[in-house]
Amino acid sequence: MKIIDAKVIVCSPGRNFVTLKIVTDDGLVGWGDATLNGRELSVASYLKDHVAPCLIGRDPHQIEDIWQYLYKGAYWRRGPVTMTAIAAVDMALWDIKAKVANLPLYQLLGGKSRAGCLVYGHANGASIDDTIEAVERHLEEGFKAIRVQTGVPGLAKVYGVGQPNGFYEPATKGLPQESIWSTDKYIQHMPKLFEALRDRFGPDLPLLHDVHHRLTPIEAARLGKMLEPYHLFWMEDATPAENQDAFRLIRQHTTTPLAVGEVFNCIWDCKTLIENQLIDYIRTSVTHTGGISHMRKIAALAELYQVRTGSHGPTDVSPICMGAALHFDISIPNFGIQEYMAHEPLVNEVFPNSYRFENGYMVPGDEPGHGVTMDEALAARYPYDPAYLPIARLEDGTLWNW
């Protein structure tokens, strides 16, 4: 069998997605997600101009060899653009291999290690009361684990806190919007939120919180300590993770579990944190971290240290990523939790899929492959529309960590 076409499709059914379609001479099609929020066209070009020509004529069964060819053969290794492009190829090739085998992809990855994948939803509100209502709505929908974000008194806008209906979209059309950030105001407010949540919902509900890289190491240590009485499931992205020694400092001060890695793109980004047991959950995603092949290596490394996975699953990766992620999640021994921000109905029409949310868990479909395809004609009606994540500044105008 040979690859005869590798086509890159950019569309924007409400938000931008980059998709790779690999076609074989047997008429099989594999789908990969290559969406890098705010930098979409760089991956589209990397794939179209540099990767696709190298794929034509290759045997799609040679997944590991093609992965190594793209990683080592490029000379320039790692980085979000490269690793997202490689991920799309990897996902599409696993899709094809599973279709040839006539099996759902998880069967090729070792079969099911669990009945379903625990997911967490996003509850957020401008005030603590609004946030409590958002948590109630999530419980009614069946969620068994919930991430909570809330507005901070004195700050006009807080990233991750959306409109009155609770939905938020990370990127906005046009150039990046700017908002003002105050660490002091934020840190003072957060314990009040979690105290109110535990009063209302009791001790059992798994609650997660995302700090979005905003704190210094000692501030993160302080927040982790202040939140200990409310025993979070995790505190996510407490500091920017380029300085990985920061996690040593945070760890020395708090038992609040730590999650990091949604902006990581390879196993080398994870190595120190995992081997030194400085984190509890690794948040790399199939789309941004080299695909299923590379994610399996990261999970295997993490397994040695009782670190579990908690993959990034925002609306800014396509349903193809969610489909592939669920096959990965259900198969590995050290799965922890999967983020699940449901896509808008139109996005699910553009990317028909068979995964299901059932009583707090997600399960992949059972048809051959990863179970997600694309309606190219529908996608063509929604051309690329530039959108960007917001930018944060301190009250004195200093550009701050995203």
Nearer to ligand CS2, 97 or 212 (CB): 212
Residue 314 interacting with ligand CS2 (CB under 6 A): yes
Residue 40 interacting with ligand CS2 (CB under 6 A): no
Pick the catalytic residue from 46, 71, 106, 159.
159
Residue 213 bears catalytic tag = no
Interaction pattern, residues 160-199, with Mg ion; x per rule: CB under 5 A: ----------------------------------------
The residue written with tokens 């990523």 in the block is 321
Nearer to ligand CS2, 219 or 262 (CB): 262
Tokens of 373: 């395809």
Q: Are 135 and 124 contacting, i.e. CB atoms less than 8 angstroms apart?
A: no
Q: Are 95 and 31 contacting, i.e. CB atoms less than 8 angstroms apart?
A: yes
Nearer to ligand CS2, 130 or 169 (CB): 169
Nearer to ligand CS2, 37 or 239 (CB): 37
Residue 33 interacting with ligand CS2 (CB under 6 A): no
210, 219, 280, 316: residue in contact with Mg ion (rule CB under 5 A): 210
For every residue of 173-242, DSSP letters joined together read ESSPPEEEE-HHHHHHHHHHHHHHHHHHH-S-S-EEEE-TT-S-HHHHHHHHHHHGGG--SEEE--S-TT
> 10 Å Cβ neighbour count for 204?
7
Tokens of 86: 């490689």
Residue 159 bears catalytic tag = yes
Q: Are 378 and 14 contacting, i.e. CB atoms less than 8 angstroms apart?
A: no
Nearer to ligand CS2, 96 or 321 (CB): 321
* Interface region with ligand CS2, contact rule CB under 6 A, candidates 78-86, 269-277, 310-318, 377-385: 310-318
Q: How far apart, in whole angstroms, are the C-alpha atoms of residue 320 and residue 297?
A: 20
φ, ψ for residue 49, nearest 5 deg: -85, -30
37, 254, 311, 338: residue in contact with ligand CS2 (rule CB under 6 A): 37
Which spans of this chain sit near Mg ion (rule: CB under 5 A)? 210, 262
Which spans of this chain sit near ligand CS2 (rule: CB under 6 A)? 37, 170, 210, 212, 262, 312, 314, 316, 339, 389
Catalytic residues: 159, 212
